[in-house]
Amino acid sequence: MAKHTFLKGKVVLVTGGTGTFGHAFVKRLLQEDQVKKLIILSRDEFKQHHMQQQMSDPKKKLRFFLGDIRDKDRLIRAFQGVDIVVHAAALKQVPAIEYNPEEAIKTNINGSQNVIDAALANNVEKCLLVSSDKAVQPINLYGATKFAAEKLFVAANAYRNEKHDTVLSVIRYGNVVGSRGSFVELLRTQRQTGTITLTHEKMTRFWIPVEKVMDIVLETIEKMQGGEIFIPKMKNMPIVDVIALLTPECKIKTIGMRPGEKLHEVLVTEYEAPRTHDIGSAYVVRPEFGSDAYTKWLTKHRKARTDFVFSSDNASFLLTKKEAAEILKL
């Protein structure tokens, strides 16, 4: 595994660090000898205790900080002496958010602004928002809150000056194989019943292993200069093909699409395509206005076609059966 020298002596803080992303990211960073300290900020003391018991931390780098991103004063205190913030805390369950919209706005939008303000107040070096494919052309409130959070992070680079030189950027990706509540996890559960539920027979999704997500997150932190949206290169496969590959012995029961559910995922739209560059491992969308001066480094990378659309029904990004077997493991 490649070592990342840019992490040498750095203090890294993860909001929502006890979630699926946080567990994987913390586990990965504990393998990076250069990291000085790793702080997990979340509001659930039981999850923190459980995580502390699970993680191997022989060099005693882990710190746990109770707090809620809705509380800006607590964030300002937590961010003192921090070099890098990865903001992963959010309310994510689509149905729950549809029924409790105000709570999602308080956490996902107002909380993200609090993270920005606390990062600027402490002159944090880099602050990265972990976003979602649902932020693109949102049709549910979760997506709308992530869309707003992305806009807040990109626009916040306008506050950079001699007092505040915090770099703020976004990483956006789709389904992580094996994450809590993922489709692959659902298959593992439903396989025991002999019947797999499917919402629509034409549904497609992107798939990415958690290890690759961690690679791209670290690459993003290293390369980000402010205002970019990084999208890992992912491949897609229809849901019915995933079911056939992983649970061929099971019957399929079509139950209809749920409220707020998309037929296909989109990670880069035709509107973003003219501002999109291919950096090899990922696509990067330049900011539309304001902080474009910080992203001149992208000009040396090939631009995407103006009609480029990175969507899960695009056959150009289809997984082969061999690739799928490697990525989609039960």
Digit-coded pLDDT (tens) for 261-302: 889 999 999 999 999 999 999 999 999 876 667 888 999 999
- Active-site annotation holds for 60: no
Which tens digit of pLDDT belongs to each residue from 213-271?
999 999 999 999 999 999 999 999 999 998 988 889 999 999 998 888 889 999 999 99
Q: Kindly state the percentage of the chain with pLDDT values over 90.
A: 74
CB 129 within 8 A of CB 90: no
pLDDT for residue 147 is more than 70: yes
Using CA atoms, how far apart are residues 138 and 212, in angstroms rounded to an integer? 25
pLDDT of residue 283: 97
CATH topology of domain 5-175+209-233+267-310: Rossmann fold (3.40.50)
pLDDT for residue 1 is more than 60: no
Q: How many CB atoms lie within 10 A of CB 88?
A: 24
Q: Structure tokens of 133?
A: 């494919």
Q: What residue ranges do the domains of the chain occupy?
A: 5-175+209-233+267-310
Q: Which of 10, 92, 134, 233 is catalytic?
A: 134
β-bridge partners, 232: 282
